[in-house]
Amino acid sequence: MNGISPQLQALDEQVQNKLEWRYEMRREAQEILPGLYVGPFQPSWRLATLQALGITHILCIAESREQHLFSARFPENFVYLILEMRDADDQNLIRIFPQTQAFIDSAIAQGGRVLVHCGDGISRSPAVVTAYVMCKSGLSHEDAFTFVQSRRFCVAPRTEFQHQLEAYGPIFAANQTMAADAGAQAGQRARRRGREDEDEDEGMGESGMDMDREIDTDMTQRKPVPQWGVGLAA
């Protein structure tokens, strides 16, 4: 691949699941990252297809008028997360990214496989998956989208969603930095508490030794108490 960033080229070489695109494949789901698929609603209706792909979790991005079509059809077979989101410029995709990423991470950590779908698999679900690729790979929104599109050629998030993906990059990076700083500060506080506890233990040990010495000195300086019948005048 010519004219692409080294990061994108490295990810592209690492994830060998590109296909020769055919038009009818737009109604199927494609694997973007290992265990992560994106597509339209049709595969979510086909139990045999889902089982053949090894799907365990289904993330559906639907608007209210679509939810009767995209309800959890096989709740005994799969874990579902259904989020309401219209394919419109006034929709805030960024607000659902933490929830969608946590759902995908949890599924993959358990050895599962996730299908992310919306109505046609062209705008909303690819935008969600692009955000996930950005977070996991560190790619820019342009490179992450190029990577997703190389696996599902028909994806085309609306322009407003692309702007939100561009804005999300710095937001995610800032959150990561804040989390790292918070973790470092927590570690410093824990180490400081550990040192203070050690100093306190040492201080208590020294105080105890001083007290023992004082008691010993006091005991040696005391006059012996006469015993009954011993050393007393008759």
Domains (range + CATH), the chain: 9-177 (3.90.190.10)
Distance CA 134, CA 139 (A): 5
pLDDT at 114: 99
Q: What angle do CA 35, 38, 41 make, to 5 degrees?
A: 125
What's the token pair of residue 220? 């040696």
Q: For residues 141 and 169, is the Cβ–Cβ distance under 8 A?
A: yes
What's the token pair of residue 222? 């005391």
pLDDT at 230: 44
pLDDT at 17: 75
pLDDT at 232: 39
Task: Give, for 98, the enclosing helix (H) or strand (E).
Answer: helix 97-109
pLDDT at 144: 96
Q: Is 118 a catalytic residue?
A: yes
Q: What letters, b where the CB count within 10 A reaches 16 and e where it falls short, cover 87-99?
A: beeebebeebbee
Residue the block writes with tokens 């609603």: 41
Distance CA 222, CA 138 (A): 78
> CB neighbours of 107 closer than 8 A, spacing ≥ 6?
35, 56, 57, 79, 113, 114
Q: What angle do CA 114, 5, 124 make, to 5 degrees?
A: 35
Catalytic residue among 60, 118, 135, 154: 118
What are the residues facing 30 on neighbouring strands?
Answer: 38
Distance CA 198, CA 201 (A): 5
pLDDT at 66: 80
pLDDT at 174: 85
Compute the 3-state secondary structure of the chain and give helix, strand, coil in percent, each to the nearest 5. 55, 10, 35
pLDDT along the chain (234 residues), means of 10: 76 83 96 97 97 98 84 96 96 97 98 97 98 95 96 97 96 77 65 70 62 57 49 41
Distance CA 90, CA 71 (A): 24
Q: Identify which of 173, 131, 172, 171 has the alpha carbon closest to the alpha carbon of residue 155.
A: 131
pLDDT at 212: 60
Indicate left, alpha or beta for 75 from its phi (over 0: left) and psi (-120 to 50: alpha): alpha
pLDDT at 196: 66
pLDDT at 191: 73
